[in-house]
Amino acid sequence: MYRIRISAILLVAGVVAPALADEPTAEQLKFFEAKIRPVLIRECYGCHSNESGNVRGGLRLDSRELTHIGGSSGPAVVPGDVDESLLYNAIIHEDFVMPPKRKLPQNVIDDFRQWIEMGAPDPRVNEVIEIRPSISEEDIEQAKETFWAYQPPVSHAAPSVNNADWPRTDVDRFVLAKLEENELAPADDAESYKVLRRLCFDLVGLPPTPSQIEAFADRWKSDPDKAIAYVVDRLLEMDQFGERWGRHWLDVVRYAESTGREVNQTYPHAWRYRDFVIDSMNEDKPFNQFVQQQIAGDLMPAKTDEQWAENLVATTFMAIGPKNLNEANRVQFAADLVDEQIDATTRVFLGTSVACARCHDHKFDAIPQADYYALAGVFANMTTYFGNPPSEFGTITNAQTRQSSSLLRLPIDDPNPYDKRYTAKELQDLRDEMAEKQREIATLGRGSANSSGNAANAQRTRLRLLNEMSMLSAKLGVVDEDGNPRSYCMGVQERKRPSDVRLLVRGEIDQPAQSVERGFPQVLCSVQPDIDEDESGRLELARWIGSEANPLTARVMVNRIWQHLIGQGIVSSADDFGVTGQPPSHPELLDTLAVQFMQSGWSTKSIIRTITTSRVYRMNTAYDRRSHEADPDNAFVWRANPRRLDAEAIRDAMLSVSGEIDFERPRGSEVAKAGFTRVTGGVLGNPRDIARKAFESAGQSRRRMQRGSRNQIAEEVARKITGQLNQEDAKHRSVYLTIVRDEEPRSLSVFDFADASTIIGTRESSNTANQALYMMNNRFVIQQSEAFADRVIRERTSPNDRLEYAFLLAYGRPPTSSERTAAASFIRDFASTTGFRSRSKDTINALCQSLFASAEFRYLD
Amino acid sequence: MKLSATFLAVSCALLFACQTQAQPPNRLGAGRDNDAKGQDRGGPGRGQARDGEQRRQRGGMADRDPAQMVGRLIEQFDKDGDEKLDSTELTALLTMMRDRRGGQMGGNGERPPFARNGDQAGPKARDMMQRKRRNAGNEDATPGGDLPKRPLAE
């Protein structure tokens, strides 16, 4: 044994262990300057530096930090480890070929090897500096003590008012007191049918039925307060409530089923989150629990698998934002992802734009840059799942998708997964096809340097093969060995060994400054949480946001509820409760409602009931010149705000009135059916596949088609391809329409649908020619008008009854005498323009369409 | 016939010397030994480096203490426990070294899917794919999706 040891020691005497110097010596730096830097400048900076404007492969080699970070394939240089240094790998032409088309001289390669082994000494370093905030601790303390939004909400006793007969609830007293203070008077009550219409659209997003109108009118006559309370309680129990108010929440959380941006990749499991939101609203889930689930549901204890699955699905909130999948630099992508999550979390729940402090201290709120990175440390320690699981062949993405992700396996199997089930043979065929494509791509050469045509062809073929392989891998990744599809969701998971992050000067990833301990923005958090070393702090963040200790959460949510019911928030800047936001018009009312919200068990329905049963809610919209001059924005709520219905309500109202609406919740979505694929030109997946299916569903072979019907079917197929995401044939509620970023359904986008790439607390409400043209010419509108007419004809017989019924369905009231006269005139004039056979039906169609296109149908008065 | 420690020493010298001699001295400003000079003393497979065929020896061992490396090799391959490597055991060791070098001594030569010119497949390419997969997204992405970690019940 002794002899072995001696021999071994002698043996390896010649093996020189690489010296890993921590600090470069003068000689090492001299070596770098003489042997390495000139080569980098000459051979690499042209494609991999900031100055050149080129960052191929996401790799920059013009600073030590970025050289160590590397590009999309990994670190370029790992000090002391030649094997792991991709730069060396590339210059010896092992797995990469750099410089392209030629090899560096061997002595240069040897220099690089030596340099890496000696620890890659590199003077191109930004010194680790400490960024001092321009916002001092005193500034933060002062903001905490003086700014209204940072004070804990306090319940106030309802003020006394002069007109004591008017108020019905404390809400009325707060509003009336402010009106009287400004020498204004509240408007009269609206007519009963308008109140009912308002309640139905606000609570369930649908018009009232004629029987509901009649019943409400009777109750209103005897006791308006009880009539309203009765209707409110019924509407709050309907499943359509969750669909209506869930959609409001989906606006705020930037819900969509694709990444958006240049490479628009689908999220096939986003719909689970949509359903989670709708169900949570229907259950009246305590809002604080709802909040915590979305931020840290994966970390919350769950007693059952069902609860665990729900908690996981809730964290889709973190994963569902827009993403730049073609970002080559993985560190940049990760930083952008964290930034998007911080922005969403703080604006959605706290109405605070913490993300403004990514690059510098917040310009307006007392949030130093360090506070942003304290929060970034919380979010950076989680893995976000938004893509498709890798198959046994690995993660293979299409040519432009440089960033990818997997999915979480649900603890409970979905009984009806969308992904296809493969037989053993089909599975093997897929594997064989993949292997074949791998062989094919391996044999592709770059082509002769002198033959650009060959190289171009090879490149095109390579891209095609890559895309095909990515689709195959996507299919294989979601099934088990027997070909059975697995069940997945998007979401997040905590990483092992959490760590703090470093502040980035001007937000640049290659300019790290001091490390910042994980924590929460100081101005919002009176006592910083105690975050264990082995925890990210995300659960603590969720608990803090969803707690009574947080001054903002309840206020922000109550304000959103008020805005949806009254037309504008008490704080009109619903997503900004900071210094640049608007102050509350009724601060005591806001605080009182916020406290009530928390004390009710964070019940959204209770606040809705409180507001809708107030007298404020049932005022009419009548214009008063004096009041308008004093308060043109109606901030003091001297009347009800006339409001245009949002896009979903307009579409659902047409379906409801026509009798075609399908109340059953559809399963999944078009994106779920299409699976993990790229959206191009408004099409999910391969247009040829869609065309083939469309022809099959037409049910006729080309040979048997007559010329006329061939054209018709061709048009139908073309419409199915180009209008796939418009979903004009869908009859279910609009909240279930597939929402693909940048390809929203026309029926929604024309009426100011929320931009799914950002947080939208308040939608625009425009009145444009496009909308009018849509209502006049769109195929869906015309179809619904025809169905509306069919219903009127079917359910009423005489022309007068039909006219009255049509008005009742569309407006909630019978026509006035002048409207009857105008309708009669219209019918007479229109009839003369149509053919004899279809005159009656066409005329009623046109009448119904004109009702749909009118302002009264689209507005809540 | 069992080999003596001296034979073991020589064998390991051949293996490690390849790496040693192919590398320029780790000192600043040192003259760069040309390959021919440095590899005259090399063993099988050594010689003038050629494009697409030069391989750096990859021990795959994180710990670079030579004595410990030798000790581990002996421990790993000394199946009969006599603290020596006989022909069978040495063959196994050399086979392992060959595989780590990616089929240089007659590997299957299959190219990885995304290999550029001059590549060969083998562990290096697989490592590369693993890195690429890690670095393109989740570090620990598992084929078929990740199983979430269930939080402890309260």
A345-363 pLDDT, tens digit each: 999 999 999 999 999 999 9
Angle between the N-to-C axes of helices A239-252 and A604-612, in degrees from 0 to 180, rounded to the nearest 10? 100
Residue B68: the pLDDT is: 67
- Residues A57 and A71: beta-carbon distance below 8 Å: yes
Query: A767 exposed, middle or buried (CB, 10 Å; 0-12, 13-18, 19+)?
Result: exposed
Residue A609: the pLDDT is: 98
Say how far apart CA A201 and CA A207 lie, in whole Å.
6
Instruction: Identify the band that residue B120 occupies on the pLDDT scale cut at 50, 70 and 90.
Output: very low
Residue A64 in this model has a pLDDT that exceeds 90: no
Phi, psi at residue A485, to the nearest 5°? -70, 145
A859 touching chain B per CB within 8 A: no
Say how far apart CA A679 and CA A47 lie, in whole Å.
30
pTM for this prediction:
0.79
A298 touching chain B per CB within 8 A: yes
Name which of B30, B135, B142 is nearest A72 (Cβ-Cβ).
B135
| Cβ contact B20–A1 (<8 Å) | no
| Across A760-769, average pLDDT | 94
In a domain, A108, yes or no: yes
Cα radius of gyration (chain B): 20
Residue B59 in this model has a pLDDT that exceeds 50: no
Residue B1 in this model has a pLDDT that exceeds 70: no
Alpha helix (H) residue ranges in B56-118: 66-77, 87-100
Q: Which of A395, A487, A538 to mutate to test the interface with B (most CBs of B within 10 A)?
A: A395
Which of these three, A86, A117, A148, is where a domain ends? A117
Q: Give Dmax over CA atoms of chain B in angstroms.
A: 69
In a domain, B112, yes or no: no
- Residues A373 and A340: beta-carbon distance below 8 Å: no
* Residue A18 parent element (H or E): none
Say how far apart CA A234 and CA A213 lie, in whole Å.
14
| Across A841-855, average pLDDT | 94
List C-alpha distances in Å: A775 to A55, A79, A782, A854: 48, 66, 8, 9
List C-alpha distances in Å: A120 to A104, A111, B96: 19, 11, 30
Number of A/B CB contacts below 8 angstroms equals 222
| Cβ contact B151–A300 (<8 Å) | yes
Residue A17: the pLDDT is: 38
In a domain, B143, yes or no: no
| Across B25-35, average pLDDT | 34
Say how far apart CA A714 and CA A718 lie, in whole Å.
6
* Residues A589-635 pLDDT 10s: 999 999 999 999 999 999 999 999 999 999 999 999 999 999 999 99
Q: Which of A35, A110, A323, A497 to mutate to test the interface with B (most CBs of B within 10 A)?
A: A110
Residue B115 in this model has a pLDDT that exceeds 60: no
Residue A435 in this model has a pLDDT that exceeds 50: yes
Specify the higher pLDDT residue, A14 or A484: A484
Say how far apart CA A246 and CA A278 lie, in whole Å.
5
Residue B33: the pLDDT is: 33
Mean pLDDT of chain B: 54
The DSSP string of A827-860 is: HHHHHTTS-TTTHHHHHHHHHHHHHHHSHHHHEE
Q: How far is A46 from chain B (nearest CA, A)?
A: 21
Which of these three, A485, A506, A525, is where a domain ends? A485
In a domain, A552, yes or no: no
List C-alpha distances in Å: A350 to A311, A327, A558, A622: 21, 29, 12, 35
In a domain, A315, yes or no: no
In a domain, B139, yes or no: no
| Cβ contact A494–B149 (<8 Å) | yes
- Residues A130 and A516: beta-carbon distance below 8 Å: no
In a domain, A733, yes or no: no
In a domain, A66, yes or no: yes
Residue A439 in this model has a pLDDT that exceeds 70: yes
Say how far apart CA A845 and CA A792 lie, in whole Å.
10
| Across B104-125, average pLDDT | 40
Task: Find, in chain A, the residue whose alpha carbon is nearest to that of B132.
Answer: A73
Q: Is the peptide bond before A799 cis (omega within 30 degrees of 0)?
A: no
Residue A423: the pLDDT is: 93
Whose structure tokens read 């008490």?
A: A570
DSSP one-letter code for A357: G
Domain count of chain B?
Answer: 1
Residue B86: the pLDDT is: 83
Task: Find, in chain A, the residue whose alpha carbon is nearest to that of B3.
Answer: A4
| Cβ contact B139–A383 (<8 Å) | yes
| Cβ contact A389–B49 (<8 Å) | no
Say how far apart CA A844 and CA A807 lie, in whole Å.
12
Residue B106: the pLDDT is: 37
Residue B39: the pLDDT is: 35
| Across A102-112, average pLDDT | 91
B18 touching chain A per CB within 8 A: no
* Residues A161-195 pLDDT 10s: 999 999 999 999 999 999 999 999 999 999 999 99
- Domain of residue B24, residue span: 5-101
Residue A20 in this model has a pLDDT that exceeds 50: no
Which of these three, A61, A92, A117, is where a domain ends? A117
Say how far apart CA B124 and CA A718 lie, in whole Å.
49
Residue A837 in this model has a pLDDT that exceeds 70: no
A828 touching chain B per CB within 8 A: no
Say how far apart CA A830 and CA A848 lie, in whole Å.
13
Task: Find, in chain B, the residue whose alpha carbon is nearest to that of A5.
Answer: B67
Other beta carbons within 10 angstroms of residue A378's beta carbon come to: 30
Q: How far is B42 from chain A (nearest CA, A)?
A: 13
Say how far apart CA A396 and CA A466 lie, in whole Å.
8
Residue B101: the pLDDT is: 54
Compute CA B62 distance to the chain's CA centroid, rounded to the nearest angstrom: 11
Render the burial of A584-601: b for 16+ CB within 10 Å, e for the rest: bbbbbbbbbbbbbbbebe
Residue A317 in this model has a pLDDT that exceeds 90: yes
Token pair of A58 as six digits: 């996401």
Residue B6: the pLDDT is: 53
Say how far apart CA A65 and CA A69 lie, in whole Å.
6
- Residues A382 and A492: beta-carbon distance below 8 Å: yes
A217-226, A386-395, A529-538, B117-126: least confidently modelled range = B117-126
Side chain identity at residue A215, one-letter code: A
Residue A226 in this model has a pLDDT that exceeds 80: yes
Domain count of chain A?
Answer: 3
| Across A675-695, average pLDDT | 80
Instruction: Identify the band that residue A846 occupies on the pLDDT scale cut at 50, 70 and 90.
Output: very high
Enumerate the residues of chain B whose CB falls inside 8 A of the CB of residue A535.
none
Specify the higher pLDDT residue, A711 or B58: A711
| Cβ contact B145–A477 (<8 Å) | yes
A314-323, A820-829, B12-21, B96-105: least confidently modelled range = B12-21
Beta strands in A576-703 (DSSP E): 643-644, 679-680, 683-684
| Cβ contact A312–B111 (<8 Å) | no
Token pair of A48 as six digits: 């991999």
The DSSP string of A41-64 is: IIIITTTEETTTTEEGGG---SSH
Residue A662 in this model has a pLDDT that exceeds 90: yes
- Domain of residue A57, residue span: 18-117
Compute CA A672 distance to the chain's CA centroid, rounded to the nearest angstrom: 16
| Across B2-27, average pLDDT | 46
Specify the higher pLDDT residue, B43 or B142: B142
Residue A463: the pLDDT is: 86
Say how far apart CA A121 and CA A123 lie, in whole Å.
7
Residue B99: the pLDDT is: 58
Task: Find, in chain B, the residue whose alpha carbon is nearest to that of A443.
Answer: B111
- Residues A149 and A573: beta-carbon distance below 8 Å: no
* Residue A503 parent element (H or E): strand A501-504
Residue A278 in this model has a pLDDT that exceeds 70: yes
In a domain, B52, yes or no: yes
Q: In chain A, what percentage of residues exceed pLDDT 90? A: 70
Residue A203: the pLDDT is: 98
Residue B53 in this model has a pLDDT that exceeds 50: no
Listed as own residue / partner, the contacts of A52-58 with beta carbons closer than 8 Å and 24 or more positions apart are A55/A328, A55/A329, A56/A328, A57/A328, A58/A327, A58/A328, A58/A329, A58/A330, A58/A332, A58/A402
Residue B60 in this model has a pLDDT that exceeds 70: no
Name which of B35, B153, B154 is nearest A106 (Cβ-Cβ).
B35
In a domain, A470, yes or no: yes
Picking from A528, A502, A550, A612, the residue whose alpha carbon sits closest to that of residue A245 is A612
Residue B127: the pLDDT is: 55
Enumerate the residues of chain B whose CB falls inside 8 A of the CB of residue A478.
144-145
A444 touching chain B per CB within 8 A: no
Residue A456: the pLDDT is: 77
A246 touching chain B per CB within 8 A: no
Residue A857 in this model has a pLDDT that exceeds 90: yes
* Residue A425 parent element (H or E): helix A424-443
In a domain, A373, yes or no: no
What residues 116-145 of chain A have any CB closer than 8 A to a CB of chain B? 117-118
Enumerate the residues of chain B whose CB falls inside 8 A of the CB of residue A113.
23-24
Predicted ipTM?
0.78
Residue A348: the pLDDT is: 97
Enumerate the residues of chain A whose CB falls inside 8 A of the CB of residue B84.
4
Phi, psi at residue A130, to the nearest 5°? -110, 125
Say how far apart CA A49 and CA A698 lie, in whole Å.
56
Whose structure tokens read 């970023």?
A: A741
Say how far apart CA A312 and CA A309 lie, in whole Å.
5
| Across A572-589, average pLDDT | 96
Mean pLDDT of chain A: 90
Phi, psi at residue A49, to the nearest 5°? -150, 165
Phi, psi at residue A48, to the nearest 5°? -135, 50
Say how far apart CA A590 and CA A351 lie, in whole Å.
14
Instruction: Identify the band that residue B65 occupies on the pLDDT scale cut at 50, 70 and 90.
Output: low
Enumerate the residues of chain A whose CB falls inside 8 A of the CB of residue B141.
389-390, 395, 405-406
Residue A139: the pLDDT is: 92
